[in-house]
Amino acid sequence: MNVRQAPEYPQWPQYDATEREGLIRALEQGQWWRMGGSEVDSFEREFAEFHGAPHALAVTNGTHALELALQVMGVGPGSEVIVPAFTFISSSQAAQRLGAVAVPVDVDPRTYNIDVAAAAAAVTPRTRVIMPVHMAGFLADMDALAKLSADTGVALLQDAAHAHAARWQGKRVGELGSVAAFSFQNGKLMTAGEGGAVLFPDSELYEKAFLRHSCGRPRTDRLYKHQIAGSNLRLNEFSAAVLRAQLGRLEGQIKTRQQRWATLYPLLEKIDGVVPQRADERTDFPSHYMAMFRVPGIGEENRNALVDRLVAAGVPAFAGFRAIYRTDAFWEMGAPDETPDQLAERCPHAEAISQDCVWLHHRTLLATEQDMHRTAEIVADAVAAV
Ligand SMILES: *Cc1c(COP(=O)(O)O)cnc(C)c1O
């Protein structure tokens, strides 16, 4: 009998003495909020510089990062925001929470990124923002989107929750001329458990966002002069200290994931019925937030059974996102004047992907080369068995 050794995937999140020292440093400052300490300021500077953006604003989480960005970009009641139908729900919820309508459009069946022609067809006089989501760290077609934005005058907001350090034709997310929102939630490529950031290409939007993220209060205000309406979305000093340490490890870890994906991709591709996610080749530094693949035609129930089998074999596997219009949450407020079935008809690829897609946690791609072979064998066995 051939007893296969189970792959050993590293834990996530990871830390070492750098995080520990950062936490002690923040602790011993004696001031634990950003207005008193220096960790958030330093992290923002480092994160902005790393991504080639003039300004970064750290916030409480990625969902708030999207909300804040949309708000300072002028989204509110009466606006429409175009989002891919296949994404994590925050992309649409952020728009809906501001009283805007989230308009889902279809995605590309290979990259799972927003279909730019579908986005163009969905633009109306009320459209304020188009939100590409860089799925699993493979960038959306930023050239076509930049052209669409220039042609229509509609701004882009990149949901970069998966795309820390990723590059499009050599340019990092902060160098592409549009606002970009990040998440530092526990599973993301760098994390403090929770946290988020927004990169701004210009100071006007950044200044507005700073006020709004701090109850409308200027940085130096001591007299409660709240200039504009806002909320408290400030990141704390401990989280920023951890994120500074995480940023230092990010690029090296991504390079490992790129090497492992280069091994795993052809192995997955060879499995009967399996089609791994493809990058637009202009994404020349993908960040590999997830290792995704489809089993076209498998059906939702069998896909879920496949995920269960992979988990039972020790592989950290998950079902792909549900199409946003297939959730109850989507219909609570700010939904377009269409039925779920009409949306499914308009978004056939998102509909199919959400039923046949599986993703593996990015810690899978931090294991050994040999473990990539073992992983592919487990996937092949599981696919054959369902
Ligand atoms: C994780 C994620 C978010 C939200 O980030 P949180 O920090 O969890 O609020 C937004 N968009 C996408 C695509 C995500 O994966």
Are residues 315 and 361 located together in one domain of the fold? Answer: yes
> Do 358 and 216 fall into the same domain?
no
In sequence order, which residues have a C-beta less than 8 Å from that of residue 193 and are 6 or more positions away? Answer: 13, 184, 185, 186, 239, 242
Nearest-angstrom CA–CA distance, 330 and 260:
36
CB of 230 closer than 8 Å to CB of 212: yes
- Residues 199, 144, single domain; the answer is yes
What's the order of all strands across the beta sheet hosting 171-172?
171-172, 167-168, 283-285
Ligand 1 centroid vs 103 CA: distance in angstroms? Answer: 18
Residues 153 and 193 reside in one and the same domain = yes
Same domain? 236 vs 303:
no
Binding site membership of 196 for ligand 1 (Cβ less than 6 Å): yes
Atom of ligand 1 nearest to the CA of 184: 7
Q: Whose CA is nearest to atom 5 of ligand 1?
A: 62
Report the nearest atom of ligand 1 relative to the CA of 289: 15
- Give me ligand 1 centre to Cα 350, in Å: 18
158 lines ligand 1 (CB under 6 A): no
Q: Torsion over CA of 136, 127, 174 and 230, rounded to 10 degrees?
A: -100
Which is nearest to 361 in space by CA: 270, 251, 260? 260
Other beta carbons within 10 angstroms of residue 255's beta carbon come to 13
Pair (226, 266) in one structural domain: no
Residue 194 CA: nearest ligand 1 atom is: 7
What are φ and ψ of residue 180, in 5° steps? -135, 135
Q: Which of 90, 135, 288, 318 to mutate to test the pocket of ligand 1 (most atoms within 8 A of CB)?
A: 90
Q: Is the CB of 61 under 6 A from ligand 1?
A: yes
The answer to whether position 356 is within a domain reads: yes
In a domain, 167, yes or no: yes
> Atom 10 of ligand 1 has which residue's CA nearest to it?
90
pLDDT at 350: 98
What letter would DSSP give residue 2? -
Q: Which of 245, 277, 304 is the last residue of a domain?
A: 245
Pair (100, 237) in one structural domain: yes
Assess whether 257 and 223 both reside in one domain. Answer: no
Please classify residue 262 by burial: count the beta carbons closer than 10 Å to its beta carbon, then call 0-12 exposed, 13-18 middle and 19+ buried.
exposed
Is residue 134 a contact partner of residue 105, using CB atoms and an 8 Å limit? Answer: no
Q: Could you give the C-alpha distances from 336 to 115, 331, 333, in angstroms and in order?
A: 18, 9, 9
**Does residue 341 share a domain with residue 227?**
no
Tell me the residue range of the domain where 63 lies. Answer: 17-245
316 in the same domain as 206? no
Please name the residue whose Cα sits nearest to atom 13 of ligand 1: 88
Q: Answer whether 60 contacts ligand 1 (Cβ < 6 A).
A: no
pTM, to two decimals: 0.97
Closest Cα to atom 6 of ligand 1: 62
Q: Is residue 12 part of a domain?
A: no
Interatomic CA distance for residues 377 and 370, integer angstroms: 11
Q: Among 245, 275, 310, which residue terminates a domain?
A: 245
The catalytic residue among 147, 171, 188, 225 is: 188
Q: Quote the pLDDT of residue 308.
A: 98
Q: What CATH number is given to the structural domain containing 136?
A: 3.40.640.10
The answer to whether residue 71 is domain-embedded is: yes
pLDDT value at residue 1: 40
- Report how far ligand 1's centroid is from the alpha carbon of 149 (Å): 24
Residues 230 and 311 in one domain: no
Q: Is 171 a catalytic residue?
A: no
Residue-level pLDDT at 6: 81
Element (H, E) at 285: strand 283-285
Report the number of distinct structural domains present in the chain.
2
Residue 201 sits in the same domain as residue 315: no
| Cα–ligand 1 centroid distance for 90 (angstroms) | 6
In CATH, what number is assigned to the domain containing residue 327?
Answer: 3.90.1150.10
Residues 6 or more apart whose Cβ sits within 8 Å of residue 287: 137, 162, 163, 164, 165, 166, 189, 254, 257
Cα of 157 vs centre of ligand 1, distance in Å, is 14
The alpha carbon of residue 68 and the mean position of all alpha carbons in its chain are separated, in whole angstroms, by 16
Residues of the chain with pLDDT under 70: 1-4
Q: What is the DSSP string of 235-278?
A: PBHHHHHHHHHHHHHHHHHHHHHHHHHHHHHHHHHTSTT-EE--
Query: How confident is the model at residue 5, as a pLDDT?
Result: 74
What is the CA(225)–ligand 1 centre distance, in A? 32
